């Protein structure tokens, strides 16, 4: 089983293509928020970017507090989402230790990464990858290796 890893965020240029792709392809929204992965700055444009995305907890605190089993534990980490069960109480977002669950402004609907990897192809910088859950080790960061050609363009 795979999980999404935002393992090379130091390469991020802040284009939001990943968030827009998740919103567009998974959640059928035009948004940079209604997405399983959201990009933020940590103190203005000069400070670089960070990704708010599920880190595949096992056990997952969000699933543990979910009162309806809309969120259930996914094997090896993360959660499975059953939207029809969700009553939009927001407890999952409060329980997430890394602020990775976004609640929609209009309807309190939770947006959480399902580790499908559809955003990966839309990152022009190679910041994101799907990694094997069993080893759960992302590829070594390029910054600690011999520089190689960037994936961009």
Partner 1 sequence: MPDAPFRIMHMDLDSGRGKVLEFGDPAEVLGGSGLAAALFEEYGDPEGSWDDPRQPLIFVAGPLTGCYPLMSKTVCAFLSPYHNQYAESHAGGRLALALRFAGLHGLMITGRAKRLSCLTVGTRRIDIYDVDYLRGKDVFGAGKLLRRISRRSMSGHRTILRIGPAGENGSAMACINVDSYRHFGRLGSGAIMGAKNLKAVIIEGDGDLDLPGGKDYNSLYKELFGQLTTTDMMRKYHDLGTPSNLIPLNELKALPWRNLQATTDPGVEGISGEVFAEQLLLRQTACSGCPVGCIHIGLLRQQFAKEHEYLYKQVNYDYESVFAEGTMLGLTKASDVLALLDETEKQGLDVMGAGVALAWATEALDTGLISEEETLVPLAFGEVNGYVQAVAHMGNKSNDFYAALSMGTPAAVAQYGGGDFACVLGQEMAGYATGEVFFAAQTLGFRHSHLDTGAYSYDQKVKEKDAQKAIDFLVKDDVDRIQLTSMVSCLFARSAYSQERLQEALAAVGMTATADNLLESAKKVQRMRWRLKCRSGFDPINAKIPKRFTEITTWKGSIDPEYMEQVRMGYAQAIVAMAAMDEEPETES
Positions in the binding site for partner 1 (CB under 8 A): 13-17, 20, 23-25, 28-34, 38-46, 48-49, 104-106, 122, 124-125, 152-153
Nearer to partner 1, 133 or 142 (CB): 142
Nearer to partner 1, 63 or 92 (CB): 92
Cβ 5 vs Cβ 137: under 8 Å: no
- 106, with CB counted inside 10 A (0-12, 13-18, 19+), is exposed
Min CB(135)–partner 1 separation in Å: 29
- Chain centre to alpha carbon of residue 13: 17
Sign of CA dihedral 9, 31, 42, 66: negative
Nearer to partner 1, 48 or 117 (CB): 48
DSSP state of 101: -
Min CB(62)–partner 1 separation in Å: 18
Min CB(149)–partner 1 separation in Å: 11
């Amino acid at each position: 089983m795979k999980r999404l890893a935002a393992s090379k965020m130091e390469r991020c240029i802040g284009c939001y293509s990943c968030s827009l792709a998740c919103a567009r392809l998974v959640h059928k929204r035009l948004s940079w928020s209604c997405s399983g992965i959201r990009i933020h700055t940590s103190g203005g444009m000069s400070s670089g970017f960070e990704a708010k995305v599920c880190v595949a907890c096992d056990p997952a605190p969000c699933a543990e507090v979910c009162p309806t089993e809309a969120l259930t534990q996914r094997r090896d980490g993360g959660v499975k989402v059953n939207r029809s069960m969700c009553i939009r109480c927001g407890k999952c977002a409060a329980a997430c230790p890394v602020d990775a669950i976004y609640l929609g402004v209009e309807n309190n609907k939770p947006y959480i990464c399902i580790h499908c990897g559809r955003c990966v192809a839309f990152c022009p910088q190679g910041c994101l990858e799907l990694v094997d859950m069993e080893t759960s080790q992302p590829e070594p960061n390029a910054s600690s290796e011999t520089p190689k050609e960037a994936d961009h363009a």
